Structure 1
Amino acid sequence: MTPVSEPINWKRNLYIAWVGCFLTGAAFSLIMPFLPLYVEMLGVTDPRELNMWSGAVFSITFLFSAIASPFWGGLADRRGRKIMLLRSALGMAIVMALMGLAQNIGQFLVLRALLGLLGGFVPNANALIATQVPRNKSGWALGTLSTGAVGGALIGPLIGGLLADHYGLRLVFFITALVLLICFIMTYIFVEERFKPVQKKDMLSARQVFASLTKPRLVLSLFITTMIIQVATGSIAPILTLYVRELAGNIQNLAFVSGMIAAVPGMAALLSAPRLGRLGDKIGPERILICMLAVSVLLLIPMAFVQTPWQLGTLRFLLGAADGALLPAVQTLLIYNCTNQVAGRIFSYNQSFRDVGNVSGPLIGAFVSASYGFRAVFGVTALVVLFNVFYSWWSLQHGPSRIRLPNE
């Protein structure tokens, strides 16, 4: 048995948490390519109703995740982060298996809501690593960890589509459940945490959590920044394939080209996140955040004027390289500005804002494109991110005090 005096092997925890985030990201995205087909298989055949129900079952997971995240964050601060990882992985595995047995759209909708309620592996993994890693390595560690979920989300749709084509839709849910069960077992065996449970009476209330922060307004601005990042990412998702078709015409391989253009930002983020995270550890995550937000604006504007899919793909690759640094930079700033005692709830509140962005981003994109055309979506998104540049800069400069980095 490892002596108590021996420090926790945070690097091993980081690698195992990375694998867990990868498997979780893959598990969630495995079913994305055929979600509307599964809704149709459950009896929704009218085209208009199919669109409505497909949107509902997609969004409801994020909606309920936003509601549940603060509760799980409080429990993580009371009981520990590892047990939250185990709870999330096992709970999602059971729900995924039940989805494969769903007999009607009502059951499926309830299970998608339950999936949101029981989720939270990635934010709890972030909280676990953030509270164990040396502060001067936080940017690199959280940047590296972010590539796990991104990598899983990239490969998941490819594998899910292949499995659905060859073995049927229902089997993919059972395979997804198995993947999450493997994630549970790995976390149980290999992740180490020494956490002294806190009595409920000793827990801080939500108001006391924010009162304990030295820069509560800055932390709130980081939550809003997270939401805007997801709004900007999600606003383009509903119109991407249609925009590619407008640029390329009715090409035979439209799905392949659209899929590649959808995937390239994630590929770029895989490459950039650890490197920019390490750079942030040297020059400050606030500088990385502001610079990459500004770069995002400069890349979004020309997307409204591209003439070919490949021009769009190139710009989206560069955008992904910039975006790969944003959420890790926000998470690093959060851990710099809160104590380990409340880290679980701070990260869970941040996850709630992220989920709100995940829900509202596609709705905004769909509304703008329906009213003003596809190209207007990029202009509106650029304006939203530009607002975030100035808002984040103002918050970082004019908070109660400047960010104090570990080496200052």
Structure 2
Amino acid sequence: MERWRINLYILWISQVISLTSFGFGLPFIPFFIQELGVTDPEQLKIFTGILSAAPAITMAIMSPIWGILSDKFGQKMMIQRAMLAAVIIIGGMGFSTSVWHLLILRFLQGLFTGTITASSAFVAVNTPNHKLSYALGFLSSSTFIGYSLGPYLGGMVADSFGYRVSFYVGAGLMLIGFALVTFFLKGDKKPERRKTSVIKGTSKWKELFAVGIMLLMAMLFLQRVIRTIFSPFVPLYVQELTHTTVGAASTTGSINGLIGLVTAVAAILISRLGDKYDKMRLIRIMLLLGLVDVLILNFTSGMTNFVVFYTLLFFIIGGIEPLITSQTAEMTSPDKRGTLFGIQGLVGSLGWMISPVLGTYVSIQFGIKQIFWVLLFFVFLNLCMAFIVRNYRKKQEVKSDDSI
């Protein structure tokens, strides 16, 4: 078997373990902070938003730095750094005695973790260009599978043994993932500059900040908002629909698990299509279907309808982010892809940071369900961006033909 495939499968397993460990405790933070003494409904929504945005703020600062360092010292080292830091931070959350302790650890999480970005950079550097969509889509499926297993298993642990135990188990799992990467992941040699769609001789920063890549970065930002704007409020919405916190952790875990599973399936299926068909056309189709789904979600009520259409949304949009990241990677030289994924981490973190702030404001002013209207707006906005990218590419093709 080719080495890049072996590395991909090792990273897939390690990321399933990694994201499962995160999922053991983090989705139930709204319940945990109630246990820590935050019970006022308005304060609960505010802290839910702040704790969701906290790691995104610091990750936005550090992602480009870690990306540059990965190009210089190797992507494997960055994966090890992120996973070892996560062991300490997730375990530390279990020892929190106030919401402020939890907030500090969430800020530290953004500073020192980031296993997904580091692993994606490794795959982008060590995978042939014609297999990038498949490889990144396959790797991203590990994220969603991990996020499906973690909340499901963590919900049962939390309901049976308490939220603190969920964090301890999560830290133990992350340590297993760290060992797997340390002893079995190989390769990571300094890549030579290979032919890409970028003109030879282009400077590093001019290449990374080309107009085409920046447009795709804007789409990535909007996509991250779409994926995360409602996620922090799923536990509170479940509590609102069921009128109780009894068993809410298990219910939330099951919903998150189902969402993670269908998103993983979508990421694999759609990313495979991305190696055969036009990626941007696939993205436009997915966003159009997503727009219809969110519109229906806004006009329905009840737990069953919420689960069906919210889950369907993640199946529809599950493959979009891998398609965007593989498209940008194909437009960038391999020796710059670590930096590229660091910048993408910055852009994604900004989306992750803004979405809970918007969600918190809307939930306080108008109610949790009204966040779906904001979600609809961002899906529509990203669909518009997809058409802008299409028009830009057509203009570039015309210019290229005229220059021949």
TM class, shorter-chain normalised?
0.7 to 0.9
Measured at CA, do residues 286 and 362 of structure 1 come closer, stay the same or move farther in structure 2, by a change above 3 Å?
same
Measured at CA, do residues 18 and 56 of structure 1 come closer, stay the same or move farther in structure 2, by a change above 3 Å?
same
Measured at CA, do residues 315 and 402 of structure 1 come closer, stay the same or move farther in structure 2, by a change above 3 Å?
farther
Secondary structure of the residue aligned to 1:312 is: helix
Instruction: Give the corresponding residue for 2:132.
Output: 138
Measured at CA, do residues 169 and 242 of structure 1 come closer, stay the same or move farther in structure 2, by a change above 3 Å?
closer
Return the match for 1:88 from 77, 82, 92: 82
Instruction: Give the corresponding residue for 1:203.
Output: none
Judge conservation of contact 1:305–1:375 (CA < 8 Å) in 2.
Answer: no
Pair 1:178-2:172 in alignment? yes
Once the two structures are superposed, residues 111-161 of structure 1 have per-residue CA deviations (whole angstroms, 9 ceiling, x without a partner) of 221111111111111111122222222111111111101111111122223
Once the two structures are superposed, residues 248-300 of structure 1 have per-residue CA deviations (whole angstroms, 9 ceiling, x without a partner) of 88899877666555543322212221111111110122222222112111211
Once the two structures are superposed, residues 78-126 of structure 1 have per-residue CA deviations (whole angstroms, 9 ceiling, x without a partner) of 0110111111111211222333344544443222211111111111111
Judge conservation of contact 1:235–1:366 (CA < 8 Å) in 2.
Answer: no
Measured at CA, do residues 76 and 319 of structure 1 come closer, stay the same or move farther in structure 2, by a change above 3 Å?
same
How many matched pairs? Answer: 389
Q: Which moved more, 1:244-253 or 1:36-45?
A: 244-253
What is the one-letter code of the residue matched to 2:267? A
Counterpart mapping for 1:53-72 below 5 A: 53-72=47-66
Judge conservation of contact 2:75–2:188 (CA < 8 Å) in 1.
Answer: no
Secondary structure of the residue aligned to 1:195 is: coil
Q: Which moved more, 1:146-155 or 1:304-313?
A: 304-313
Instruction: Give the corresponding residue for 1:9.
Output: 3
What TM-score does the superposition give when structure 2 sets the normalisation length?
A: 0.85
What is the one-letter code of the residue matched to 1:221? L
Cα distance in 1, alignment partners of residues 100 and 235 from structure 2? 29
Judge conservation of contact 1:80–1:197 (CA < 8 Å) in 2.
Answer: no
Pair 1:210-2:205 in alignment? yes
Secondary structure of the residue aligned to 2:342 is: helix
Pair 1:224-2:222 in alignment? no
**Structure 1: which 5+ runs fail to align?**
1-6, 199-206
Pair 1:190-2:169 in alignment? no
Cα distance in 2, alignment partners of residues 136 and 283 from structure 1? 12
Once the two structures are superposed, residues 366-393 of structure 1 have per-residue CA deviations (whole angstroms, 9 ceiling, x without a partner) of 3334445555433332222212112222
What is the one-letter code of the residue matched to 1:349? I
Measured at CA, do residues 233 and 212 of structure 1 come closer, stay the same or move farther in structure 2, by a change above 3 Å?
closer
Measured at CA, do residues 141 and 243 of structure 1 come closer, stay the same or move farther in structure 2, by a change above 3 Å?
same
Judge conservation of contact 1:30–1:159 (CA < 8 Å) in 2.
Answer: yes
Secondary structure of the residue aligned to 2:230 is: helix
Q: Which moved more, 1:47-56 or 1:95-104?
A: 47-56
Cα distance in 1, alignment partners of residues 191 and 301 from structure 2? 58
Return the match for 2:23 from 26, 29, 37: 29
Secondary structure of the residue aligned to 2:361 is: helix
Instruction: Give the corresponding residue for 1:202.
Output: none
Q: Sequence identity, in percent?
A: 27
Measured at CA, do residues 390 and 108 of structure 1 come closer, stay the same or move farther in structure 2, by a change above 3 Å?
closer
Return the match for 1:386 from 372, 375, 380: 380
Q: Which moved more, 1:169-178 or 1:234-243?
A: 234-243
